[in-house]
A and B are shown apart, each in its own frame.
Chain A
Amino acid sequence: SQQGEEDPQALSIQEGENATMNCSYKTSINNLQWYRQNSGRGLVHLILIRSNEREKHSGRLRVTLDTSKKSSSLLITASRAADTASYFCATDYNDYKLSFGAGTTVTVRA
């Protein structure tokens, strides 16, 4: 299948620490998007990185993309309790859909 796979499945960190999660995919993409989902809520778009980009920043978020390894990473710096959520990578193969991974559940302990 085409969906991305996130690693790790779950992550527990102390407030103030950094959290890193990875996403791997199988074939060439048009872009890759990261989303956050708080428990019982909808998906919030975080960052879109296109295939010709290598790194993007948004506030405390940093996303990298390595198309040669078919992988992406999301780094959350100086984590806060409010960052507790599931994080999904979604790959866009330019075929009118996003293919989602199973997500990484991040728990930030106070």
Chain B
Amino acid sequence: DTAVSQTPKYLVTQMGNDKSIKCEQNLGHDTMYWYKQDSKKFLKIMFSYNNKELIINETVPNRFSPKSPDKAHLNLHINSLELGDSAVYFCASSRTNTDTQYFGPGTRLTVL
């Protein structure tokens, strides 16, 4: 009965590769998010979606492309990975944009 799940949990890859992270929520929420946490634990919003529509793209390079096939899923595809992309990526969801956000367990991406 996991609320917000992400796969994979760990991702180790070479520079220049393309990779995807998947996120699913079974809470029936309308809004989903991607956050990036850097090595200093600073969390920053990347994208917000509401009912499959992109609401926020917080100056993220266009190598990052989110896709929401339905309200329960928000996947993140990253092209041409760079060393600076190494971080922990968290997916989250909330009932509406002003409610509690529930976070997934995170995906630790390491680019070599």
Contacts and interface: CB of A to CB of B under 8 A. Distances in A.
B41 to A, nearest CB: 6
Interface in B39-57: 40-45, 48, 50, 55-56
B103 interface: yes
Interface of B: 31, 33, 35, 40-45, 48, 50, 55-56, 58, 90, 92, 97-106
Interface string A20-38: 0000000000110101010
A98 interface: yes
A67 to B, nearest CB: 16
Given A42-B90, A97-B48, A103 B41 contact: yes
A45 B102 contact: yes
A14 B81 CA distance: 44
Interface in A35-50: 35, 37, 41-45, 48
Interface residues of A, number: 24
Interface of A: 30-31, 33, 35, 37, 41-45, 48, 86, 88, 90, 92, 94-100, 102-103
10 contacts: A35-B103, A37-B41, A41-B105, A90-B101, A96-B31, A96-B33, A98-B33, A98-B45, A99-B45, A100-B43
B33 A97 contact: yes
Nearest to B31: A96
A97 B90 CA distance: 13
A42 B106 contact: yes
Given A90-B101, A97-B58, A100-B42, 7 more contacts: A43-B103, A45-B103, A48-B100, A94-B98, A95-B56, A96-B56, A102-B41
